[in-house]
A and B are shown apart, each in its own frame.
Chain A
């Protein structure tokens, strides 16, 4: 939003630029480019360079120890018959399509509660935001592993009620669920954004609705949701992109092997195993580009679909 205000001030100034201002602008631009330099160097050396390299490698057979050999589309055709890759796609899609909506729903719910003008709001906001800072970390993933182990905290509590819980993260039928739960738990970041969005809905709409006798639920569906839709859309896009790439939690919780029985074998984890464990970096690079493509497609779908449900108030 600050970008918008700066842009508007920029357009306002147009037309009455003196020579001195021009000079100053030029100097400013130079300064800006110099300031940008660290980022620019980083972008070229750390992002674009390796990306192009990996694009090249995706068409080669590269075992890390010997120079890559051009094999054309071989890596991509091999993917068609790789059952473990298909499984990893299934796992990743399950994670994204269950984890993201759940997380956003929880985030919105908590944001709505906090928006009701709680005393000590900054404190609660921080408390709820904390998991977002920690959730992606190695330490929390290890903690998760302890809590959901066969003799972990969850099962100890269940045992008090006479229930013998499974090994949540070591049983193939519940392992992915535990990781999705870890993802949902990190609802803080979207929650903060929702909260900011809720605060921007003008109170007069609610007042008018109340006068007309609308119930709380009606107010939510008719006012809050449409007014908040750009924010929901923003969160959705961001979370979907992030979740497709999620790696750390599955890596730590499964001990790096996507187990048990590949039930937590995320696409990124399989990519890592292929590249670094099985000396198949060409294939891993090809997988990375497929992931980019998948994320691109889903983001595009998101944007197209947004035309039908996102309401911009201008």
Chain B
């Protein structure tokens, strides 16, 4: 309703603008009767929508014909989705009365979604669980004690089995065994004319020197190594080599501010020597998915990854990758202090309506050779020794490399680390944040060490 139309054309423009006050055309012509009928239709539609949403809630219903539907959620990329769906197919062929409904996505969104689902009493029946969160979920009663159900654990490696045990029983069965590694891209080394290091003898100084040399002899934008400091694995190795640990067995921090400050001070030195990318590039790399990481795109000579990620990275990089041990302080592989980590766990929701069937599926994933033949080494080396042996011939060359590496370091392993306590899920984010504070020189390693340990302490004390 233009109060003062300046000109006829102006009024027309106003009428065209989305914010114009023109009243809805035709609304006044409708007779009341038609309007009521329309309203009735709307009300019916609303009722229908509400009925639909009512069906959506609740956990797996049992159908009239006796089939049970279980929901199974995991995080991971395309390769993992294909392999896992193959395993599901094998299981359903053996158990026609059980249907498995997969739900998968990226790591970053996975935990938000899971927390919400559990809060809404709508958790998936089978949950792929991580070490960082298992205590959180199990101690709060969200996970099923699998020892009370029919899951055979007799063939599992002891360390892998123990990793899934907590105060609430056996709430997770290791899906695979992992180790922290440095992956090297030989193509980058070759282009720079730098020989690959001998990983049984190298020290952190060697690591820095080699990485800086690669950067110097490579085209702009290529760096010798990716920066560490974006997760707790590399910190864990560093602390263990210094006689400390991330966590103690009673759920406290296993290190002092000074220990983590040293770790950052060394990173700062690497950054100064241009052994690792610039601070901005490090921040950008954090957000990149695996197949766009610096190692996969040939921008990094070396990078910090878990062993089970090597085949996926090799596929993404399109070339050969070499798995290396972490460097040490002493130059002896016996002091690497690596450990076998349960790459991830199979857990079940404590509120599943079908615990028997859920346990049956987890038992299948853990002990059945057919599951092994489908999953191969994507979630790490199979913890079940029989399945591991049976699937050996089926493994791809990249998988074999991983299995061999896990085997090679067997005698050099340090003590099994204490399980991450409740609240450990927040630690990675704290590490990342203070790493960028240090790299951007907004905090000294000492100050970052003090602040970060304070924050970590309060994160795990809740």
Contacts and interface: CB of A to CB of B under 8 A. Distances in A.
Interface of A: 1-2, 4-6, 24, 27-28, 30-32, 34-35, 37-38, 41, 63-66, 121-122, 125, 149-151, 166-167, 170-172, 192-193, 195-196, 199-203, 255-257, 259-262, 273, 276-281, 313
Contacts of A125: 17
Given A34-B42, A167-B280, A281-B119, A192 B436 contact: no
A199 B6 contact: yes
Contacts of B111: 276-277
B118 A35 contact: no
B1 A4 contact: yes
B119 A31 contact: no
B19 interface: yes
A41 B50 contact: yes
Instruction: List the 8 closest pairs (A to B, CB-CB), nearest first.
Output: A167-B280, A1-B21, A255-B287, A170-B283, A202-B4, A34-B39, A65-B140, A64-B119
B442 to A, nearest CB: 6
Given A278-B425, A278-B459, 19 more contacts: A5-B23, A38-B45, A64-B118, A64-B119, A151-B221, A166-B280, A195-B13, A195-B17, A196-B17, A199-B10, A199-B11, A199-B14, A202-B4, A255-B287, A260-B283, A261-B442, A277-B111, A277-B426, A281-B119
A63 B140 contact: yes
Interface string B203-234: 00000000000000000010000000000000
B13 A192 contact: no
Interface in B250-264: none
A66 to B, nearest CB: 5
Contact of A65 (B43, B142, B426, B440): B142
Interface of B: 1-4, 6-7, 10-11, 13-14, 16-24, 32, 35-36, 38-40, 42-43, 45-46, 50, 108, 111-112, 115-116, 118-119, 136-137, 140-142, 221, 278-281, 283-284, 286-287, 423, 425-426, 429, 432-433, 436-437, 440, 442, 459, 462
A277 B442 contact: no
16 contacts: A1-B21, A2-B21, A30-B36, A34-B36, A37-B42, A38-B46, A41-B46, A151-B221, A167-B278, A167-B284, A172-B440, A200-B6, A257-B429, A259-B433, A260-B280, A278-B426
A37 B13 contact: no
A35 B42 contact: yes
B278 A27 contact: no
A267 B344 CA distance: 33
A215 to B, nearest CB: 21
A204 to B, nearest CB: 8
A194 to B, nearest CB: 10
Pick from A32, A66, A166, A280 the residue with the most CB of B within 10 Å: A66
B129 to A, nearest CB: 13
Given A28-B35, A257-B432, A202 B440 contact: no
Contacts of A28: 32, 35
Nearest to B112: A276
Contacts of A37: 42-43, 46
A172 B1 contact: no
Nearest to A39: B46
Given A64-B118, A277-B429, A122 B16 contact: yes
Nearest to B422: A279
Pick from B7, B426, B436 the residue with the most CB of A within 10 Å: B436
Contacts of B35: 28, 31, 35
A122 B12 CA distance: 11
B141 A34 contact: no
Nearest to B451: A83
Pick from A35, A65, A277 the residue with the most CB of B within 10 Å: A65
Contact of B17 (A192, A255, A259, A313): A192
A110 to B, nearest CB: 14
Contacts of B39: 31-32, 34-35
Contact of A2 (B23, B50, B115, B426): B23
A150 B278 contact: yes
Contact of B32 (A24, A192, A280): A24
A37 B136 CA distance: 42
Given A34-B40, A259-B433, A150 B1 contact: no
A30 B33 CA distance: 11
B284 A150 contact: yes
Contact of B23 (A6, A203, A279): A6
Contacts of A32: 39
Contacts of B141: 65-66
A244 B284 CA distance: 26
Contact of B13 (A41, A149, A199, A279): A199
Contacts of B283: 167, 170-171, 259-260
B1 A5 contact: yes
A233 to B, nearest CB: 15
A27 B32 contact: yes
Contacts of B6: 199-203
Given A35-B42, A278-B426, A149 B1 contact: no
A196 B14 CA distance: 6
A41 B6 CA distance: 44
